[in-house]
Amino acid sequence: MGLPGPAANGRAAGDTLGTGAGLAGRGNCVDQQDSARRPAWRRLEGWAPVIAGVLTGGVNGLLGVGGGTLLVPALVYWFGVPDHRAHGTSILVVGLTSIISAAVYAARGLVDVQLAWQVAAGGMVGAAVGARWMERLQPRGLRRLYGWFLLLLGLRMMVLG
């Protein structure tokens, strides 16, 4: 069971799994009048989302990590997308951009396909569990959990480099 009300988690009413109306368009993502009042570089239409995509794809291709580390904060703070919808949107974007990155890495012989399938099998189970758990968090709790995750990951990388 999700959070109360469609605005609480960015899904359309009756959209229990984040499918259906949520995939058809922006739904209740951001008030269209609010979007129109934003400067061009913060609107969900036009060139700004493309620039966010270029940055996301660049991080994905360069570092081999989900560009969602940039995309989720950009969607929430730059574009005003509700937290839960930002996470779901980021997952789809990163999945699609990862296909291109994986093809480039594979063409250069840098992919262990057998290992990838093994990790993906466990990852699909983990993704389903994580997505259901995320749905139960309030936006503030989700932001804090994500922030702590990024902070700890960054510290580990800096210390163990």
Instruction: Report the chain (161 residues): mean pLDDT per 10 consecutive residues.
Output: 39 39 49 68 83 83 75 89 92 87 93 96 94 89 89 91 79
Whole-number pLDDT of residue 7: 40
Question: What is the model's pLDDT at position 115?
Answer: 97
Unique residue bearing structure tokens 């990862």? 98
Residue 30 has a pLDDT of 57
- pLDDT of 60 reads 73
Query: CB count, 10 Å around CB of 81?
Result: 22
Residue type (1 letter), 157: M
- Note the pLDDT of residue 31: 54
> b vs e for 43-56, b when ≥16 Cβ sit within 10 Å of the residue's Cβ?
bbeeebbeebbeeb
Q: Which residues contact 26 (CB under 8 A, 6 or more apart)?
A: 44
Per the listing, tokens 């009048």 go with 33
The whole-angstrom distance between residue 8's C-alpha and the CA centroid of its chain comes to: 17
Crossing angle, helix 83-107 and helix 113-135, to 10 degrees? 180
Q: What pLDDT, on a 0 to 100 scale, did the predictor assign at position 14?
A: 36
Determine contact, residues 3/9, Cβ cutoff 8 Å.
yes
CA–CA gap between residue 32 and residue 98 (Å, rounded): 30
